[in-house]
Chain A
């Protein structure tokens, strides 16, 4: 059995964070956790079943707008219901898109998901009666029972609680029948098929679960940021999510979290460098992959083995 203390320490740090850090860093931690949830969702799809997606910003947008519109039109709705609805709606879209895409693999799927992301952006832009198009949408504060979650700290705890739940679910997934099937597919799709794993079914499940995670993250994103506009969900955001899981480590839940943390913190701390920001970020990416092929988790594993 693995020692439990690192997990406990991490939990304590997450719980105590708003008392330790200034207000801005509480907000930043919320953004980081939202990104971590997306990265876990994307990793379930790309890391385990080898389906590369450049369209997860589209799924994030669907979740965000679903939660925001529900909260605007039904203000009494508890936040948990809004988030669950965001997840379910996004998962439904993900399945509707994912099933026909089972025929696609590799770059073809990457292209189809890229196109999907573009189309979702255009749809949001043009459904302006509902989404206010390019003007953007203000998201009212989420409500938990009678309390509005109106401060950064309150929103942070909402995000942390949901993220903890989803991380635990992702970690435990490995011990279920579905999880074992996904692991088998990750190791070798052909061998999994030969051992009787219905690959198509589990690839579909992965698509649905991935979209669900991303949809819930989208709902959280809407409440944390408080303002939605279609240009926030462009292809560069989708690329960022892919960067998170490759830099962190493909097919690994801790890797997704580490990757999300690294990318979020880098984007934030490099903001001061303005024009040099992408230059430094790009150089870090190149150096990272040169010296840590396989991402941070595989480098850490190699270090631990020594």
Chain B
């Protein structure tokens, strides 16, 4: 295989990886704040993309406004779910909340099927189909666009967590909830904001990926790839989530080129198990030592 073709495959792998990374970041944002694994993250992405698509078709909005609609829909949905249900689960363990989010995911997927059917729909793209030639390497503008947009979101998130009051509050809650509360941080507000922020990141990922994989009620399955990416990088670590996503995306795109069909789909998982056996807390994660 020529170097140029290989570069093409790696770039599209990185684009897939960016989507996985955004999905992983959504999971990690909620997990860090609330210690909850949100099973419904993928379905929330799917719903916001569907809502944006419907509004776009009804009103003929420009794509940028459609993106804003998706973000608003996701934020509203996440806020409602957290405020109206998850927060009322008083005395529930993390296990119970896990089942609650699983319930959400079943309900959202079935709901989407009832409203929009389980068919696939094309989704308008920000980027043209004409390949761009960079020297000898030809690349899809969609791949480059996804990578660029994702990097912009990741940098924004990094800045948010580093320099804003909200980001500092979220990091404080992630480290020690009780101490954060004693410092005057409203932990409840951080919970809400974490859900909203995660949903917004997911909504952008949804609008970016829908033109590539089509819009359908099955889109929510991305949550499994996102979870894999987050674990691979070290659950709770944001750079880890990005690294894990990229690695998984490239691996998935390269595996079909070199491996027979029979083991193609297993390889990412076998690699994952192998990495976990060597680094039990993922690539960038640290093994937590709990004090008594």
Chain A residues in the interface with B (C-beta under 8 A): 100-101, 103-105, 107-108, 111-112, 114-116, 118-119, 122-123, 126, 190-191, 235, 239, 243, 246-247, 250, 275-279, 281-286, 288-290, 293-295
A246 partner residues in chain B, CB cutoff 8 A? 95-96, 98-99
Q: What residue of chain B has the Cβ atom nearest to residue A239's Cβ? A: B102
A289-B280 CB under 8 A given contacts A119-B266, A122-B265, A126-B262: no
CB–CB A100/B97 < 8 A: no
Q: Size class of B's contact patch? A: 35 or more
Q: Is B111 an interface residue (CB 8 A)?
A: yes
Give the shortest distance, in Å, between B89 (CB) and chain A (any CB). 5
Knowing A107-B37, A108-B280, A276-B114 touch, does A282 contact B104 (C-beta < 8 A)?
yes
Q: How far is the CB of B49 from chain A (nearest CB, A)?
A: 19
A122 contacts which chain B residues (CB < 8 A)? 262-263, 265-266
Interface residues of B in 33-51 (CB under 8 A from A): 37
Instruction: From B109, B235, B270, give the contact of A119 (CB < 8 A).
Output: B270
User: Would A282 and B106 be within 8 Å (CB), given that A108-B231, A123-B266 are in contact?
Assistant: yes
Q: Please give me the residue from chain B that is nearest to A279 by CB atom.
A: B110
Q: Which 8 A-B pairs have the closest CB atoms?
A: A282-B106, A285-B103, A282-B107, A115-B269, A286-B103, A279-B110, A278-B110, A293-B92
| A282-B110 in contact given A107-B231, A293-B92 (Cβ < 8 Å) | yes
Give the complex CA separation of A283 and B37 in angstroms.
18
What is the distance, in angstroms, from B270's C-beta to the closest C-beta of chain A?
6
**Which residues of B lie under 8 Å from residue A118 when comparing CB positions?**
265-266, 269
* A293 close to B104 (CB less than 8 A): no
B288 to chain A, nearest CB (A): 9
Residue of A nearest to B43 (CB): A282
Q: Tell me whether B99 and A290 are in contact (CB under 8 A).
A: no
In chain A, what residue has the closest Cβ to B113? A275
Residue in A closest to B107 when the chains form the complex, CB atoms: A282
- Distance (whole angstroms) from the CB of B268 to the closest CB of chain A: 8
User: Which chain B positions have C-beta within 8 A of A190?
Assistant: 290, 292
Contacts of B107 in A (CB 8 A): 278-279, 282-283, 286
| Other 12 A-B pairs with CB < 8 A, given A115-B269, A290-B89 | A105-B280, A111-B231, A111-B272, A114-B227, A119-B269, A119-B273, A122-B266, A286-B103, A290-B85, A293-B90, A293-B91, A293-B93
Residue of A with least CB distance to B281: A108
Contact present for B99 and A275 (CB under 8 Å) = no
Measured between beta carbons, the chain A residues less than 8 angstroms from B174 are none
* Measured CA separation A282–B114 after assembly (Å): 15
Residue B77 at the chain A interface, CB threshold 8 Å: no
